[in-house]
Amino acid sequence: MKHSERTPARTLLMWLTPGIGVKRWLIVLFFGVTALGLGFGILLLHFFRTYPVPPVESILTLGGAPLWLRAVLAGVVGAALVVLAMYRISRTILSPWDVGRDRLIETLVEQRHLQRGPKIVAIGGGTGLPALLRGLKDFTSNLTAIVTVADDGGSSGRLRRDLGVLPPGDFRNNIAALARNENLMTQLFQYRFGEGGLEGHSFGNLFITALSSVTGSFEQALIESSRVLAIRGQVLPSTLEDVTLMADLRDEPSSQTRRVEGESAIPEIEGAIERVFLEPENAPAYPDAVKAILAADIVVIGPGSLFTSILPNLLVPGIVEAIRRTRALRVYVCNVATQSGETSGFSVIDHVRAIERQVGPGLFDVVLVNDYYPALDADANFAYVQLGMSNGNSGSGARIVSSPLVDQQYPWRHDSRLLAQAVINLVEASEDATT
């Protein structure tokens, strides 16, 4: 039921929703008020026995009315006074924040529901990971996004080169995606300057960079930024090391290999990507990211650019080791479309094999793929990633699960809602299989 359709009676009943932690305290309040009333009654009884005041005693006994009637009337009056007092107190407390009572209980019920959601860790970067998080935040608040720090293009690259900070762009996008509401602050966080000395910079990138200086650390800046937008979950780096993504590309006609430096340069150079690696190669994993993976119910890798968003995280030794050790269901979300300069002509199996060539086999339990391919315009610069198999197996032991996942408006992307529902279905199926 929409907010505008809720009746006062329905709003009142929402306070009785199981699990929100209200009824138990109402019971405690009842017994507290009862004990307080009992004590006050004993004092009154002692006072009137010691100093008899016949007119007052007559009022208290309601002119000789039956005991049960006196008890009922006292209870009704007491309950009415308690409800009135609580109502007025709540209005007084909430008024400075302009929080309506209906919205308060709605938020409370929603928060309790989301806190009971599955623990999901999503690994990636670019535009794919925010799309996944935007859908998942409606199912659970136990979300952890683990983001690459290899970005060196655009605003993030400029800030990285000029100020020596980790690239904030992917973190900004994922923090905004996890924000509870797409309110003015979230829009401000994503605002990009179009002219002047700040041209090309987004406000969120500058905000995180400034907070890094104010708080003394990039990770604390992420925490404070997340608080500002009141996000559901947390966004963590895969490593705090200042890493550079490198690639070996093979020129098809000559079969010669050339080395390319920088995440933003790799898709711009013609040639097939043979491998990517980090400099330095043994960057230590961020400890909280490892903890989140080990404690997760499901670890989702992707979607995102295969070589420049997903693999940079998996090339951090501690991250891939944690994925292998976790008891969580491990899912790779294959892109719905190929990407020029990275995966042109790739099938689902090509994506899986590319990852396995870099980090070894057996990293996934499930490969989640799109199986719906709307018609494309004649001038489309991408192709759908085709399933290319019908035996339900990726060729590496991982089970293939297919579902319509494409965004109708932007067919090169995943639909956030459909993708999130598919992930939740995998979680529920995994829980059913273990019970």
- Pick the closest to residue 232 from 343, 119, 313, 392 (CA basis): 119
- Pick the closest to residue 364 from 399, 407, 315 (CA basis): 399
Burial profile 163-183: b = 16 or more Cβ within 10 angstroms, e = fewer: eebbbbbbbbbbbbbbbbeee
The per-residue pLDDT for range 278-291, each reduced to its tens digit, is 999 999 999 999 99
**Better-scored residue on pLDDT, 3 or 17:** 17
According to the model, what pLDDT value does residue 101 have?
A: 52
Categorize the per-residue pLDDT at 407 as very low, low, confident or very high, splitting at 50, 70 and 90.
very high
With 70 as the cut, is the pLDDT of residue 63 above it?
no
The per-residue pLDDT for range 193-243, each reduced to its tens digit, is 988 888 889 999 999 999 999 999 999 999 999 988 889 999 999 999 999
Share of the chain above pLDDT 90, in %: 55
Categorize the per-residue pLDDT at 81 as very low, low, confident or very high, splitting at 50, 70 and 90.
confident
Query: Please, what is the average pLDDT of the chain?
Result: 85
Beta bridge partners of 384: 337
The backbone torsions φ and ψ at residue 204, rounded to the nearest 5 degrees and listed phi first, read -60, -40
According to the model, what pLDDT value does residue 3 have?
A: 46
- Pick the closest to residue 22 from 118, 114, 104, 137 (CA basis): 104
Q: Is the peptide bond before 303 cis (omega within 30 degrees of 0)?
A: yes
According to the model, what pLDDT value does residue 12 have?
A: 54
- How much is the average pLDDT of 405-433? 93
Least confident of 25-39, 68-82, 387-401: 387-401
With 80 as the cut, is the pLDDT of residue 375 above it?
yes
Least confident of 83-87, 149-153, 208-212, 273-277: 83-87
With 50 as the cut, is the pLDDT of residue 4 above it?
no
The count of other CB atoms within 10 Å of the CB of residue 282 is 9
- How much is the average pLDDT of 135-147? 95
Domains of the chain in start order, with CATH, are 3-113 (no CATH), 117-149+238-434 (3.40.50.10680)
pTM of the model: 0.79
Least confident of 17-31, 247-261, 320-334: 17-31
The count of other CB atoms within 10 Å of the CB of residue 317 is 16
The backbone torsions φ and ψ at residue 224, rounded to the nearest 5 degrees and listed phi first, read -70, -40
The per-residue pLDDT for range 290-319, each reduced to its tens digit, is 999 999 999 999 999 999 999 999 999 999
The count of other CB atoms within 10 Å of the CB of residue 261 is 12
Least confident of 99-113, 261-275, 336-350: 99-113
